[in-house]
Amino acid sequence: MTGRYKKLEEEKVFKDPVHRYIHVRDELIWKLVGTKEFQRLRRVRQLGTTYVTFHGAEHTRFNHSLGVYEIMRRMVENIEEKEDWDPEERLVCLSAALLHDVGHGPFSHSFEKVFHTDHEHWTREIILGKTQINAVLKGMGEGFPKKVADVIAKTYSNKLVVSLISSQIDADRMDYLQRDAFYTGVSYGHFDMERILRVMRPTEEQAVFKISGMHAVEDYIMSRYQMYWQVYFHPVTRSAEVILSKILHRAKHLYEKGYTFKEKPRHFDSLFAGSITLEDYLKLDESVIMYYFQAWQEEADSILKDLCDRFMDRRLFKYVECDPSTQMNIWPELLQLFKEAEIDPRYYLVIDSSSDLPYDFYRPGEEEERLPIHLLMPNGDLRELSRESDVVEAISGKKRTDHKLYFPKDFLEDYSKHGDIKKRIQTLLMTQGG
């Protein structure tokens, strides 16, 4: 093929520990990988602070993005075997898969909460703004970047395409579950993706799965369920994340108070001022953040210094389980005692909550309408997954939430100052831990 749909003279491959090889045949994809905005993803970890818990979890958004592209490439290949596809639609799919996470910043999860930014907004900006990615996409036609952005924003007219990249069973999840399992070394997260891809059938609205592949789909749902609680919400990872966000809060607070930093956070200037541009945003990656955290270990502000020491040296907060309904009774007393012990509760006493809904059937009108997974019966009928699968039914629509109270146990065990108060705090926390 020539012109806009140009193929490379020779196929390129990336060696990948999860999918073995990632195949690139389209010139467009090869060029996108080479852009500086895409290369930046090498400096953003896929799992944020998870590496403090699972030391193998150093893989990046770059690895994951290539993986999602590869799964999408295979999905598209399967679909093309069954029906004719517009060659442009195929490239929209592949580009969206490759670029779906391109707007992620460093330690996205905490970063977005502290600075009220949102990676989806930046993804759109990167695709539509003045970037190398935009220039490459425009080579396919003026309207092409918008199509790619719309797929990622789930507003694209072709619902099948949207569902391949974001639904309850999509290329994104299929990659991150396997990839995160591989790099963390846990035994959850594995499922038979080959089988799922083989039984997948396109419909106008979404991809459906032949009933003969139901157990592979069940396995996928269960692996997601287990990965959330065993890896993504691991309390030690969350402790590091709590500290990370407190560092960012403290730095912002000091900046606003006019504190003189020894290491002036010039990369954060526009962010702190609430006027960050795309150009500034693209300069932020995890190596920059880590640079400041290390430098701030020398700061005169004792809170900023202590929090950075904790993050760099992995001296994390401990936690107790807490039930917010009873927690509220002791909360005012706890705050008061922390102040008396001269430990600032704004930085050292944190309730953190996680919740997950492993799979949901369709509930029209609810806050988050999720398209359910459908099975294709031999007679051509479609059946919703939880109606056929007892395993999936057992966890369907069940949201599990968990709350933990984080605090610096080492501070409370240093009795050289305010010993009595600290002992009272410990007793109070102990009754929570139950």
* Binding residue for Ni ion, selected from 125, 170, 172, 241, defined by CB under 5 A: 172
32, burial (CB in 10 Å: exposed 0-12, middle 13-18, buried 19+): buried
Closest to 324 in 3D by CA, of 362, 344, 353 = 353
Nearer to Ni ion, 101 or 285 (CB): 101
Per-residue binding letters, 187-206, with Ni ion (x by CB under 5 A) = --------------------
Helix (H, G, I), strand (E, B) or coil at 343: coil
- Does residue 150 interact with Ni ion by CB under 5 A? no
Distance in angstroms (rounded) separating the CA atoms of residues 42 and 82: 36
In this structure, are residues 161 and 153 in contact, taking their beta carbons and an 8 Å threshold? no
CB of 100 to Ni ion, least distance (A): 6
CB of 65 to Ni ion, least distance (A): 7
Nearer to Ni ion, 26 or 172 (CB): 172
Q: Which stretch binds Ni ion (CB under 5 A): 97-105, 178-186, 231-239, 348-356?
A: 97-105
In this structure, are residues 151 and 123 in contact, taking their beta carbons and an 8 Å threshold? no
Q: Which stretch binds Ni ion (CB under 5 A): 100-108, 221-229, 250-258, 365-373?
A: 100-108
Per-residue binding letters, 109-148, with Ni ion (x by CB under 5 A) = ----------------------------------------
Nearer to Ni ion, 181 or 337 (CB): 181
CB of 180 to Ni ion, least distance (A): 11
Q: Which stretch binds Ni ion (CB under 5 A): 112-120, 171-179, 349-357, 420-428?
A: 171-179
Nearer to Ni ion, 16 or 88 (CB): 16
The order of strands in the sheet holding 207-210 is: 200-202, 207-210, 374-376, 382-384
* Binding residue for Ni ion, selected from 26, 27, 70, 101, defined by CB under 5 A: 101
Q: Cβ neighbours of residue 260 under 8 Å, at least 6 residues apart?
A: none
Distance in angstroms (rounded) separating the CA atoms of residues 89 and 95: 10
Helix (H, G, I), strand (E, B) or coil at 51: helix
Q: How many residues bind Ni ion (CB under 5 A)?
A: 2
In this structure, are residues 278 and 122 in contact, taking their beta carbons and an 8 Å threshold? yes
Nearer to Ni ion, 63 or 237 (CB): 63
CB of 172 to Ni ion, least distance (A): 4
CB of 336 to Ni ion, least distance (A): 43
Beta bridge partners of 202: 207
Beta bridge partners of 406: 319, 350
Q: Which stretch binds Ni ion (CB under 5 A): 16-24, 44-52, 80-88, 164-172?
A: 164-172
Helix (H, G, I), strand (E, B) or coil at 245: helix
In this structure, are residues 199 and 216 in contact, taking their beta carbons and an 8 Å threshold? yes
CB of 165 to Ni ion, least distance (A): 9
Nearer to Ni ion, 51 or 347 (CB): 51
CB of 133 to Ni ion, least distance (A): 16
In this structure, are residues 409 and 423 in contact, taking their beta carbons and an 8 Å threshold? no
CB of 68 to Ni ion, least distance (A): 6
Per-residue binding letters, 344-383, with Ni ion (x by CB under 5 A) = ----------------------------------------
Q: CB neighbours (10 Å) of residue 298? A: 10
CB of 105 to Ni ion, least distance (A): 14
CB of 176 to Ni ion, least distance (A): 6
Amino acid at 14: F
Distance in angstroms (rounded) separating the CA atoms of residues 433 and 321: 5
Closest to 47 in 3D by CA, of 67, 64, 66 = 64
Footprint of Ni ion on this chain (CB under 5 A)? 101, 172
